[in-house]
Amino acid sequence: MLGEIILVDDLKPAELLAEVAPYESRASQTWKQLNEFHFESLFQIVSGSPEESFKDDIKVHTADDGEVWLVVISNDFRDLLASQSPENYQETANKWAVTDEFKWGWDKADILSLYGDLCAMAQKAKLKKQALVYWGRL
């Protein structure tokens, strides 16, 4: 199973979903398979917002009967991630680690590294005015 955090200049979800490997021609970071629920729980942690407040900040697009998916992170969420201080990464990653989404197959070190990579990618995306997306394939 593949998963990539990707920076995109001109976001066209349908075109990205149609590409076999959209990460090959764009700045990206490989990670274990994630889904929208991972990003929803992170949004609640970093924003301090209650459940269901992420509706406008996380959009999911699918293709091939759900075997390929794209999680599009809003620019507001991207900027929130970009603004996170590295001094707080451990605390946030620890909170994220105890969510239901990370019960199986993840350890705290992996989640800390994922969170750091996600924030770094968000910083690059914000600086370059790019979209931040997660592309996954079964």
What SS3 state is found at 73? strand
pLDDT score for 52:
63
3-class SS of residue 106:
coil
Task: Summarize the confidence of residues 2-12 as an average pLDDT.
Answer: 92
| Rg of the chain over all Cα atoms, to the nearest angstrom | 14
- Torsion angle, alpha carbons of 83, 85, 48, 132, to 10: 40
Q: What is the pLDDT of residue 32?
A: 82
Q: Give the single-character DSSP code of 104.
A: S
DSSP state of 103: S
**pLDDT (average), residues 108-121:** 96
Is there a contact between 17 and 68 (Cβ–Cβ < 8 Å)? Answer: yes
49 vs 79: which has the higher pLDDT: 79
Length of the chain: 138
pLDDT band at 128 (very low <50, low <70, confident <90, very high): very high
Q: What's the pLDDT score for residue 55?
A: 76
For the entire predicted model, the pTM comes to 0.91
* CA 23/CA 28 separation, integer angstroms: 6
What residue numbers bound the domain in which 23 lies?
2-137
Average pLDDT for 76-86: 96
Instruction: List the beta bridge partners of residue 28.
Output: 6
Supply the CATH number for residue 16's domain. Answer: 3.40.1760
Cα–Cα distance list, 63 to 114, 123, 137 (Å) = 25, 28, 10
- How do residues 13-70 score in pLDDT, each as one tens digit? 999 999 989 999 999 999 888 989 999 999 999 998 766 667 789 999 999 998 999 9
pLDDT value for 1: 65
Q: For residue 106, give both structure tokens.
A: 């993840």
Percent of the chain with pLDDT over 70: 96
* Cα–Cα dist 93/67, whole Å: 28
What is the number of domains present in the chain? 1
